DNA sequence: AATGAATGAGGTTTCATTCAT
DNA sequence: TATGAATGAAACCTCATTCAT
């Protein structure tokens, strides 16, 4: 078999390797992934895992943070106004981006947001918070109608997330996106 | 000593006792319930459980079917037309009914639809099928606008379900119901 | 290898088998014994162990109780007075009995009373309580001198226990017993 | 970055730092102390620990030797005779000194003498050897009676040690010391 | 001489499922 | 039909020790 070579790495590099191995497996197999699997994929000993993540849930927390950061980096909200924002178009864009992003990471999403882990770590759901902020901003710009921002954001995000899952499940992306767009536009129309 | 009290029961009755015990516990403790707990609550031996449900998931399937049937019985759709139907009002009514029904059964819902079980048994989701049928019917009556029924039903149901979870989680029922009603009416408006 | 035959036993019998297996191993190897070892010796599956002893420490508790009960049964204190008691002779007898009993079970004693388990479960030390009661009774019969019963019992029992360990460790039993007898007699002499 | 501050120290000094760190922690937390804790307290890398102590038990050995030496330095036996020794008074003094010393170091005592380590490294018990020498000397001076020195020293030391533990455990020091004094005096009386 | 990342053999505990009675 | 004792494959986590740097 050849004894496993002990590769000494900078902690951040090793940590990254473990996280990335976990992401690959979570993506492929969802919540079924175990510590055992991750360490095999990462090519490290079991103890090494717990050196970096005291708990399995700590790893999942890290994966979630990376996921959020990755999406934010890929689809930043416009922070500086270089002219008037087309809020409806912005919403369309982001919805489509979210669907593509999340449906391409369905396994991870499953493991993070629709498993027992989600129950343990009730996420602050900043996705919803963000969405409600957007709604509010759109309302101030008189681009959106008089909906109640928080509850509406909650419900719209549920629809958005379901859309992503549906696309990941093989349903016709165009039809889903179109339906979602209609739902968003009509709900938020002035 | 204490020879086992062997309560001979009609199989249907025995099966029912187990299911009802499971429902009580799932409602109270969600996905954490174990076979052990159910048999204790039902006053039945462990082996007996597997006599009626070859697998734990089979029990959950049964619970789910009963849940659906219960809701259908409590909130039947109008099948015979005794005059013109107010589709929008019907939708409002059903949405509120669903929220109240599901939020009062949050524990079960969690165990059935938002745990690892949900991933294993991808539900035929006849709730969505039903909703899309309603949309279609409403469209034929020209009460609803030209949305794509299936994808729209999928997304609306996600919002509906999220609304129920939010209410179960302690959020202001009136605000949630109002937001949902707006979302439904605007999305489906002609 | 032949598949392991599944032997169904009355719970008390099975529990006893496990305890006795544990006692054999503890006797032979002291505190080094693990659950793994016990189940192998008892010929049961690992899960069976935890069916009867939710925790490893629970097993040790049981072993300790049995140990105490066994000694009490083998060397009962005279409860009914059929004439005047020779307290000094009684003490001699019990001391020798304790030494022989405990030194023959050195491994178990080690595991129970001189390991980390002893630290976790600080035993009510009823051996000491018993000894102080004997001292008190002897004092009332004017067979013992005016020592302070509780502290003296504590110290004498420590000497007694050390004697047992010494004998178990291979030191000359007669010399140890003689020294202990002298120590007891002189300390408690009127 | 932050290149490791490599404090070059004289080996003896470095070794001492580690031992003293260990002593502090053992005193405070008993047998629960881990290598990890010691190196953190000592401000030293893990590998450095094993440079000086091939094994955890080697550290404990060192701690024990230092403990003994410390007591000897604090309570030296009279080596030169500047007149006749009051052996009984000497014994009283040393017993009280031992109790105070050992009860103030209960954590270390626990870790060294009443844990699994004690089983692995059966101590040469020079405390007992020393005590038996004292007994012998006292006998030669006709201050002590005709007890068998070695076994008696063994038993008396056990009582002595138990006394220290009792005091450390919060029991009334005066009562314990008094009982011990009586026990010693009576046992060794001519 | 010093570092600290990496190791991996344990260790306890859980629980759906099996099967002798 | 019914029982409940028995199973054993996971699962998570610890920590003394090793070794590449």
**DSSP secondary structure letters along C3-59:** PPP-----HHHHHHHHHHHHHHHHHHHGGG--HHHHHHHHT--HHHHHHH-SSHHHH
CB contact under 8 A, C116 and D116: yes
Distance measured from the CA of protein residue B8 to the C1' of nucleotide E6, in angstroms: 61
Report the candidate in D154, D155, D161 with the shortest Cα–Cα distance to residue D105. Answer: D161
Task: Answer for the pair D188, D145: CB distance below 8 angstroms, yes or no.
Answer: yes
- With CA of C56 and C1' of each nucleotide, the nearest comes out as E12
Tokens of A49: 């895992």
Whether B4 maps to a domain, the answer reads no
Residue C121 sits in the same domain as residue C49: no
pLDDT at A187: 97
Say yes or no: C106 contacts chain D, CB-CB below 8 A. no
State the CATH number of the domain containing residue C145. Answer: 1.10.357.10
Mean pLDDT score of chain D, rounded to an integer? 90
CB contact under 8 A, B155 and A162: yes
Q: Select the residue of C119, C150, C163 nearest D155 (Cβ to Cβ).
A: C163
Average pLDDT over residues D58-66: 95
Q: How far is C79 from chain D (nearest CA, A)?
A: 28
* Chain A contact set for B122 (CB, 8 A): 169
pLDDT at B80: 59
Residue A124 sits in the same domain as residue A151: yes
Residue C71 sits in the same domain as residue C34: no
Distance measured from the CA of protein residue D124 to the C1' of nucleotide F21, in angstroms: 41
Average pLDDT over residues A10-15: 96
Mean pLDDT score of chain C, rounded to an integer? 90
Average pLDDT over residues A81-91: 83
The Cα B28–Cα B105 span in angstroms is: 9
CB contact under 8 A, B179 and A118: no
Residue B70 sits in the same domain as residue B129: yes
Chains that touch B (3 or more CB pairs under 8 A): A
Whether A1 maps to a domain, the answer reads no
Q: How many CB atoms lie within 10 A of CB A156?
A: 29
pLDDT at C66: 94
| Dihedral sign of CA atoms C139, C143, C147, C149 in order | negative
CA atoms within 13 A on the CB side of D3: 2
* Chain D contact set for C162 (CB, 8 A): 154-155, 157-158
pLDDT at A36: 93
Calculate what percentage of chain A has a pLDDT beyond 70.
Answer: 94
**Residues C76-92: pLDDT tens digits?**
877 656 678 899 999 99
pLDDT at C118: 82
Residue D41 has pLDDT above 90, yes or no: yes
Whether B122 maps to a domain, the answer reads yes
Distance measured from the CA of protein residue B108 to the C1' of nucleotide E16, in angstroms: 20
Residue B175 sits in the same domain as residue B94: yes
CB contact under 8 A, C147 and D171: no
Q: How many CB atoms lie within 10 A of CB B17?
A: 18
The Cα B166–Cα B99 span in angstroms is: 9
Mean pLDDT score of chain A, rounded to an integer? 90
Distance measured from the CA of protein residue D44 to the C1' of nucleotide F17, in angstroms: 16
Residue D72 sits in the same domain as residue D143: yes
Q: Which of B 112-171 have CB under 7 A of nucleic chain E?
A: none
* Chain D contact set for C132 (CB, 8 A): none
Residue C85 sits in the same domain as residue C130: yes
Average pLDDT over residues A69-98: 85
- B3: CB partners within 8 A, 6+ apart: none
The Cα C145–Cα C187 span in angstroms is: 8
Lowest-pLDDT range of B29-38, C41-50, C60-69, D82-91: D82-91
Residue C107 sits in the same domain as residue C163: yes
Phi and psi torsions of D62, nearest 5°: -60, -45
pLDDT at D79: 65
Whether B77 maps to a domain, the answer reads yes
Q: Model pTM? A: 0.86
State the CATH number of the domain containing residue A18. Answer: 1.10.10.60
Residue B35 sits in the same domain as residue B90: no
Residue B44 sits in the same domain as residue B75: no
Q: How far apart, in Å, are the Cα atoms of D29 and each of C117, C170, D22, D32, D111?
A: 15, 33, 10, 6, 9
Domain of residue D17: give its range.
9-54
Say yes or no: A151 contacts chain B, CB-CB below 8 A. yes
pLDDT at A124: 60
**Residues C124-169: pLDDT tens digits?**
678 899 899 999 999 999 999 999 999 999 999 999 999 999 999 8
Three-state SS at D87: helix
pLDDT at D81: 63
Whether D154 maps to a domain, the answer reads yes
Average pLDDT over residues A68-90: 83
Residue D40 sits in the same domain as residue D90: no
The Cα D164–Cα D177 span in angstroms is: 9
* Chain B contact set for A157 (CB, 8 A): 162
Please give the tally of structural domains in chain D. 2
Q: Select the residue of A150, A155, A169 nearest B159 (Cβ to Cβ).
A: A155
Report the candidate in B10, B2, B39, B8 with the shortest Cα–Cα distance to residue B22. Answer: B39
Assess whether chains A and C touch, using the rule of 3 or more C-beta pairs within 8 angstroms: no
Whether C4 maps to a domain, the answer reads no
Confidence of residue A21 (pLDDT cuts 50, 70, 90): very high
The Cα B2–Cα D150 span in angstroms is: 60
Whether A43 maps to a domain, the answer reads yes
Whether C1 maps to a domain, the answer reads no
The Cα B90–Cα C184 span in angstroms is: 94
The Cα D120–Cα D122 span in angstroms is: 6
Task: Answer for the pair B185, B88: CB distance below 8 angstroms, yes or no.
Answer: yes
CB contact under 8 A, D186 and C182: no
pLDDT at A1: 43
Residue C27 sits in the same domain as residue C107: no
- Ranges in chain B, pLDDT < 70: 1-8, 79-82, 123-124
The Cα D92–Cα D88 span in angstroms is: 6
Average pLDDT over residues A58-77: 91
- With CA of C50 and C1' of each nucleotide, the nearest comes out as E13
């Amino acid at each position: 078999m050849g004894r496993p070579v002990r590769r000494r790495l900078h902690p951040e590099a090793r940590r990254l390797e473990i996280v990335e191995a976990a992401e690959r497996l979570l993506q492929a197999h969802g919540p079924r992934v175990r510590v055992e699997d991750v360490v095999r994929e990462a090519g490290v000993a079991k103890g090494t895992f717990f050196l970096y993540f005291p708990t399995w849930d700590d790893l999942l927390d890290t994966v979630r943070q990376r996921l959020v950061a990755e999406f934010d980096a890929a689809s930043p909200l416009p922070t500086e106004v270089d002219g008037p924002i087309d809020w409806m178009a912005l919403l369309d864009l982001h919805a489509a981006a979210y669907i593509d992003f999340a449906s391409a990471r369905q396994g991870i999403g499953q493991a993070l947001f629709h498993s027992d882990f989600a129950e343990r770590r009730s996420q602050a759901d900043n996705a919803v918070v963000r969405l409600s902020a957007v709604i509010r901003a759109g309302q101030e710009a008189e681009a959106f109608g008089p909906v109640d921002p928080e509850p509406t954001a909650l419900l719209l995000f549920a629809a958005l997330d379901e859309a992503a899952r549906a696309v990941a499940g093989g349903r016709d992306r165009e039809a889903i996106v179109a339906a979602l767009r209609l739902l968003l536009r009509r709900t938020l129309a002035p």
